Structure 1
Amino acid sequence: MKTTEQYSGGYSPLIIDQFKQRSFAKQGAFVQPYLTAGLSVLDCGCGPGSMTLDIAELVSPGTVSGIDYSPIQIEQALLLQQQRGITNASFTTGSAYQLPFDDEQFDVVFAHAVLYHLQQPEQVLAEFRRVLKPDGLVALRDACHTGDMMMPWNTDLAAAWDTINKVFCHQGGNIYFGSRHKQLLLDQDFKDIAVSCSYDTFASNAEKDSIRSYWQQFLNTDHRQLILEQQWLTAEQLDQQCAALEQWCTNPASFFARARCEAIARK
């Protein structure tokens, strides 16, 4: 059984900087109304901690624990915590498959863009259930490529997304995962399940350049060797797909809207 996995996008400074731009007010809007002062919260897959620290401010004098598999991410989270002067948050390195927390410790478990990278999300949901208090809340948000919009669309962009999907599948991830939330929560005996959808939109020049850089690095740096070794593409074809992303970004009419499925349920 595989109990430790790497984030498929890697941990380059570019990617970590993008994660630092996430805010709970935006990415966690679907669950924010449920957070009140005094709650204990687990942010699983906390990354560099921007959303974790937002949660800490919302639940103070309650507490929030952030956990991530990457020591690099936790190091960044601790630096950000020091900069923001927030004292009711803690960060630790660990696996979502084996959470280093007691049974029934948390009122809320929040996991943003975590489960769709994992080979065995069912086991992680079982861990979430273990560490939740009775009637505790789990909140999930994951990508679902079915609803993505990358406009204007063309065959080269379609080919690039096919390659991205192959990389995810090879590593046990699933870019269509978000649509599975409700069934998986039912399978783990969660109740009062509510699902919703929203978008992360990249439309300004800066936003488009950010997401273009992200996917170009994903294809051409982080996973170039894998793509060529698996013979999914020739070097020329891979370069063509990266060029398609460049052309998309420079088109004044272009935008990208990434579909996110959301789910809230109680233990």
Structure 2
Amino acid sequence: MSDTARSTFDIRFDENNQEFAIIGSMRPQRVEELSGCARMLETSLAMVRGTFYVNVKRLVRLNNIAFHMLANLLVKACEERPDLRVLVITSSVVGWSTRKFRALQRAHASIAVEEYDNEFYPGQAFLEEGGFIPILRTQTKMTWRHEKDILPRHGLREGLTVADICCGIGDFAALVHKEFKPARLVALDHSRSSLDYARKVAADFGLQGIEYIYGDASEMLIEDDQFDFVTCRHSLQIFDRPELILAELFRICKPGGRVYVTNEKISHCLGEPRGDSIQWTYNELSKLFAHFSMDLEFGPKSRRAMIDAGFGDIRAETFMVTNTDGDPQDFTDTVNAWKVLFAQDMSARRGDSKAFMERFARGFDDHIFAALHPKGYAGWPIWVVSGRKPQ
């Protein structure tokens, strides 16, 4: 819906979820310009029972004329219907929206406002704590030895418009910028500390031209059909509803463009000698992440998820990061960081016993032993899947 040059927005009502969503910029010059929106809101309110969700996570602008129209209709509905509860869902990405809509809580007791935040990224808090951020750079260094040859098979070449979604500390985006020289490169993440580190990485590489954006991967403030190639690495597995991210990756990709994702099946980490201990620990690691609503077994599921999201021409392959890829110390540094984060911090937060945590940690130590053993072998498998958005 577009009412004026200053007011361009879409409104959608999902009857199954009782959700009324407003997307875009709502800045009318006269309230009459919002008559269509008002009618649809009133009709939607009449159809629901219980909680009515108002989703403004992707409402980037709202003037007072539009706000008062929405507020009056919502308050009026709550006054007329004691059974009705209104929940307005805002986003921390759009800083003003929570402050603006919280006025509705004061206007009526049946209206509440919730800010959609990183609680929807269960793994993010763990990965931002302590000293784990630097080890992510080592991980990317190890995977890049493989991915720089894999990416062209999945359609990446020089001169494309590229988005790296859930970019984390930005090292992958920096490497893509250097190797493939994209015409445009946007890197988005929901962690301010990671983006701060990402800007430091770009400075260390002496790179300019990467657009860093603070944003929510499941509700991006990016227009449709923007990028030739969209990447999202090791992220679907730590998001409790990966289909939401995939839908957004599909949306921002140009028709004919490709989306590239990587994920793990952590229980397939391996090593010899001491293979049994290593296998036990990584099986338990999968269960630990499941406890926190994450799926480190997502790798092989990626192909089906891409098909379900509407992609075609699916390409899938795997590679194994090993202790024989460059310096084995990089591998052991990574596993040791995993041990600290998973076998200590996360395991303790789950409430595991001291005996369990000791055995859990021992498997990581045995993985390190295998990596450093002169005759040993240690591996960490990655699944790569890409799909084309239909023309």
For the pair shown, the structure with the greater C-alpha radius of gyration is 2
How far 1:205 moved relative to its partner? 4.3
SS in 2 for 1:137: strand
Structure 1: tracts of 5 or more residues without a match? none
Instruction: Give the partner amino acid of 1:265.
Output: G
How far 1:6 moved relative to its partner? 4.0
Equivalent-residue separation in structure 2 for 1:254 and 1:241 (angstroms): 21
1:237 aligns with 2:353: no
Matches within 5 A, 1:111-126: 111-126=232-247
Q: Which residue of 1 aligns with 2:30?
A: none
1:219 aligns with 2:342: yes
1:199 aligns with 2:292: no
| Contact 1:56–1:63 (Cα < 8 Å) also in 2 | no
Of 214, 225, 241, the match for 1:104: 225
Q: What whole-Å deviation, never above 9, does each CA across 1:106-141 have from its counterpart, x for those lacking one?
A: 111111111111111111111011101111110111
The answer to which of 68-77 and 209-218 deviates more is 209-218
SS in 2 for 1:29: helix
How far 1:172 moved relative to its partner? 1.7
Q: What whole-Å deviation, never above 9, does each CA across 1:137-166 have from its counterpart, x for those lacking one?
A: 101111023543232345443442233122
Instruction: Give the partner amino acid of 1:239.
Output: E
Q: Which residue of 2 aligns with 1:30?
A: 150
Q: Which residue of 1 aligns with 2:257?
A: 136
SS in 2 for 1:47: coil
The answer to which of 160-169 and 114-123 deviates more is 160-169
Distance 1:14 1:28, change over 3 A: farther
Q: How much identity, in percent, do the aligned residues show?
A: 18
Distance 1:47 1:75, change over 3 A: same
How far 1:28 moved relative to its partner? 4.7
Of 66, 74, 81, the match for 2:195: 74
Q: Which residue of 1 aligns with 2:269?
A: 148
Q: Which residue of 2 aligns with 1:87?
A: 208
SS in 2 for 1:30: helix
Equivalent-residue separation in structure 2 for 1:77 and 1:60 (angstroms): 18
Root mean square deviation of aligned Cα = 2.4
Q: Which residue of 2 aligns with 1:10?
A: 127
Distance 1:250 1:202, change over 3 A: same
4+ runs of 1 displaced by more than 6 Å?
none
| Contact 2:343–2:360 (Cα < 8 Å) also in 1 | no
Distance 1:69 1:221, change over 3 A: farther
When normalised by structure 2's length, the TM-score is 0.62
Instruction: Give the partner amino acid of 1:17.
Output: P
Structure 2: tracts of 5 or more residues without a match? 1-88, 90-115
Equivalent-residue separation in structure 2 for 1:36 and 1:212 (angstroms): 32
SS in 2 for 1:86: coil
Matches within 5 A, 1:241-256: 241-251=360-370, 252=373, 253-256=375-378
Distance 1:28 1:73, change over 3 A: farther
Q: Which residue of 1 aligns with 2:289?
A: 168
Instruction: Give the partner amino acid of 2:127.
Output: G
Equivalent-residue separation in structure 2 for 1:256 and 1:13 (angstroms): 26
| Contact 2:123–2:294 (Cα < 8 Å) also in 1 | no
SS in 1 for 2:286: helix
Q: Which has the higher contact order (CA 8 A, sep 6+)?
A: 1
Distance 1:57 1:244, change over 3 A: closer
